[in-house]
Amino acid sequence: MTAPDPSPLSLSGVAFDGRSSRDRAATLDVSGDVAVLRVEGGESHWPLAQVHIDPPVPGVRRVLKFPDGMRFETRDDAGVTALEIRTGRNRALGGVRRLEARWWTALGALALTLAFAWDFVVFGIPALARTAATATPRPVLATFDRETIQFLEGNGYLAPSRLSAARQQQLQAEFRRVVAWAVGDYPYRLLLRDGEPGDAPFQIGANAFALPNGTVVMTDQLVALARSDRELLGVLAHETGHVTGRHGLAGVYQGLGLTLLSVAVTGDLISAGTFAAAVPAALLRNGYSRAAETQADETAGRYLMDEYGTTKPLRDILARLEEDDREADENSVQEGNRAEDLLQTHPGTAQRIRHLREIEARGR
Amino acid sequence: MTDAPPTVPLGRHEQAHRAAAPAEGEASLVAAPTVTTYPMTFTGQAGEYFRSWIVNSALTIVTLGLYLPWARVRQRQYFYGHTWVDGHNFEYTASPLALLRGYLIVGALFLAYSLALNLQFRGWEYVAGVIGLAYVLLYPWLVMKSLRFLAVSTTHRGLRFRHYGKAGGAYAAYGLANLASGLSAGLALPWAWFMQRRYQVENAAYGDARAIFRGDVGNFYVIGLTGLAVAIGGAVLLGVGGFLLVALFAGVLGSLGEDVLDGPVSTTTLVVIGALYLAFLALYAVAWQYVRAATMRYVLNTVEIGGVVRTGATFSPWRLVWIGVSNTVVRVLTLGLATPWAAVRRARYVLDGVQVRAIAPLDDFAASQAPQENALGEAATELLDINLGF
């Protein structure tokens, strides 16, 4: 380096020779490109370029290391910082240290972290999950469908339908009409099953759900709950909305993303921290699935408007599902309070009914 | 329980007496070596560390995790650098680049494993199976690598620590012992702790001075049984309390004409169940934190280095339990923002309760030749939560 010689620098501290734990008082003089380390009774000269300066840590002595294993420790932070600037060392971590030194930059980092975390959870994870779901190849979807149905049937959650063959054929034919209407090229199939087999460990009951590759399961109990097939078609259209939106798979990816995130935040897999993270994660998962339900209702609403000019059939069967009462209709559902709303997997039924009414109003 | 720190140093002290033994009356004339106690101190400040922590966390986030090794190294450097003995601090010297390589390898494997489990694509059983099996089989080896890397990355007074642990010992302490404690329904668990702490301490060295572990397995059983007693006693109390509470609620509401116990799950029952769940979680945390704290204290009281130095601990395990549990509560309530404060609070209490007693000056240690260690094991322990016990 041939820069004009800046003012010489003198630092005092202690030195270790790297071979024993004995500390010795020492001084380090830097003039030009040469550093001179003076330890009682001896001195060594080094080109400044060969002296390693450890990055600064707040409140800790600065350390300089020499090629022969000597190290020099000093509390003269300002001096070492000047040396760093002169030699252009530790630019990046020196910058980090400047950010760490002031409260306003630290609070800025806090704001940035919170904003980033919020955006990532609210927009980033769903967007990533959607992208991943769209990019997932069909054979994976097919495996997913097959394995899930195998699991549900193998463990006795689902049993063969008790509906008459004629009724089943009728429903299949109506389902094909919905499928013909739905967008996307999925190998749709409708599985009619008994959702309350006697030996089931858990009763699925009146329900319908869609798997990623277009397998739609509808239980006898739901069929029994419906007063007209229009209601069932509304439900089936809703399920095709889940398929075309790839909600099932996106949900899996979102869960995975949240798990990885909570591991990254709490730093472990199985501990109290994970339990603490489980509650917000569950709430977030709810939020995601509520968005998916709303989107699927949108599809169902469009189908019903196209076919019948009203969304009332879906509203009625939703109300009957909610109240678990065959006599109920859309007006029997009460709005829940906000806390209850937040804890529900699906958007509150009242909310969904309101949404379907809006779709109808829009369609007129 | 031998909670009290040892009062007399050993090593040379004992030898001095033994050498003097033949001439009986003269034994008292042999000057006992003077024991100097050096307290450890921790000088970190919660505010200062908070700034460092949040800045490094933000950098990790905006770099999408690539800065993580630098953040980890810096956080460690802060804690090491603020830990002082006899006027000199510790230093953490790991290279972030070495850690990054390990993080990327371990992270990629972990991601593949999670994807396989969650997606169950064709052949997922093999992907997950191979990674899972490799993890189980390599676990002791990873612990060994981690201990070696951690030791060689720690410097005090210009000398590095070392860990001479071999794979054989690691497979005995972390493979066989864990297997035995699993097969014996936990009966051998304290023995496994003993094996693991002994492996950690016996293979450690400062410079060329080897550490010696003077603990015995019985004390680990005492600690384990105390933890178990706390858990069982607490569970009984909670069970009785919870039952009384439910009965009380049922009685009060029943008199108002509302049937709590027969109806569908009511809000009251949910609240009681939730409270009980949290209480049992806290109980588990208390018992486990006690075991950790008591083990740490016991181990620190049984380490001897180079025959001239002994470490000692005077902190109270129960106080540490309180700090651990209250730290967790505060961290949850502040959504993690109090993490730096909690870490500083714990480090200060623990380190201020640790001493080093020496019968020779602390500057008498010499270096050993330290070979390079790679950081894969270290990355694995950080990302996969391998518990090293401290």
Q: Is A337 on the interface with B (CB under 8 A)?
A: no
Cβ–Cβ below 8 Å for A22 and B77: no
**Percentage, residues of chain A above pLDDT 90:** 29
Can you tell me whether residue B186 is helix, strand or coil?
coil
Nearest CB to B91: which of A63, A110, A253? A63
CB contact under 8 Å between A21 and B157, yes or no, is yes
- Residue B203 tokens, joined: 């293979």
Distance (Å) from the C-alpha of residue A241 to the closest C-alpha of chain B? 21
pLDDT score for A333: 67
- Give the chain B residue whose CA is nearest to the CA of A249: B119
Q: Would the CA dihedral through A284, A285, A288, A290 be positive or negative?
A: negative
The token pair at A261 is 């995130």
Chain B residues touching A13 at Cβ < 8 A: none
Q: What pTM was computed for the model?
A: 0.75
**CB-CB contact of B195 with B127 (8 Å):** no
| In chain A, residues 256-295 whose CB comes closer than 8 Å to chain B | 256, 259-260, 264-265, 267-273, 275-276
Give the span between the Cα atoms of A117 and A115, in whole angstroms: 6
Q: How far apart are CA A269 and CA B385, in angstroms?
A: 7
pLDDT tens sequence for chain A (364 residues): 445 556 788 999 999 988 888 899 999 999 888 999 999 878 899 998 899 999 999 889 999 999 988 999 999 999 999 999 888 888 888 888 889 989 999 999 999 988 988 888 888 888 888 888 888 888 888 888 888 888 888 888 888 999 999 999 999 999 999 999 887 788 999 999 998 887 777 777 888 888 888 999 999 999 998 889 999 999 999 999 998 888 888 888 887 787 777 666 655 444 444 555 555 566 666 667 788 888 899 999 999 999 888 999 999 888 888 877 666 677 766 665 555 554 455 557 888 888 999 998 887 7
pLDDT at A258: 77
B246 C-beta neighbours (distance < 10 Å), count = 17
Q: Which residues contact A327 (CB under 8 A, 6 or more apart)?
A: none
Q: Over chain A, what is the mean pLDDT?
A: 83
Alpha-carbon distance of A3 to A45, in angstroms, equals 19
Cα four-point dihedral sign A294, A300, A302, A308: negative
| Residue count of chain A | 364
pLDDT tens string A267-295: 544 444 455 555 556 666 666 778 888 88
Query: Does the distance separating the beta carbons of A270 and B385 come in below 8 Å?
Result: yes
B122 contact residues in A (CB cutoff 8 A): 139-140, 143
Residuewise pLDDT in 10s, chain B (390 residues): 334 444 443 333 434 344 444 444 444 555 667 889 999 999 999 999 999 999 999 998 888 888 988 998 999 999 999 999 999 999 998 888 888 888 888 888 888 888 887 777 777 888 889 998 998 898 899 889 889 888 888 999 989 899 999 999 999 999 999 999 999 988 999 999 999 999 999 999 998 899 999 999 999 999 999 999 999 999 898 888 877 877 777 666 666 554 444 444 556 667 777 777 878 888 888 998 999 999 999 999 999 998 889 999 999 999 999 999 899 888 878 878 899 999 999 999 999 999 999 988 888 888 776 566 676 667 666 655 555 544
Which residues, in sequence order, are bridge partners of residue B312?
B355
CA atoms of B121 and A135, how far apart (whole Å): 13
CA angle A11, B154, B211 (to 5 degrees): 125
| Distance in angstroms (rounded) separating the CA atoms of residues B110 and A6 | 52
DSSP one-letter code for B324: H
Pick the residue of A37, A54, A75, A100 with the most B CBs within 10 A to test the interface with B by mutation: A100
Q: Per-residue DSSP letters for B222-277?
A: HHHHHHHHHHHHHHHHHHHHHHHHHHHHHHHHHHTT--TTTSSPPHHHHHHHHHHH
What is the pLDDT at residue B264? 47
Give dist(CA B7, CA B17) in Å, integer.
Answer: 16
Contacts of A139 in chain B (CB under 8 A): 121-122
Place of tokens 């329900």: A207
- Asked if B196 and B146 count as a contact pair (C-beta separation under 8 A), the reply is no
Q: Which residues of chain A make contact with B56, given a CB cutoff of 8 A?
A: 96, 100
- On whether the CB atoms of residues B44 and B78 are closer than 8 A, the answer is yes
Decide: B370 and B151 in contact? Cβ < 8 Å: no
Please check whether residue A318 is in contact with residue A232, taking contact to mean a CB–CB distance below 8 angstroms. Answer: no
**Does B81 contact A59 at a Cβ distance shorter than 8 Å?**
yes
Length reported for chain B? 390
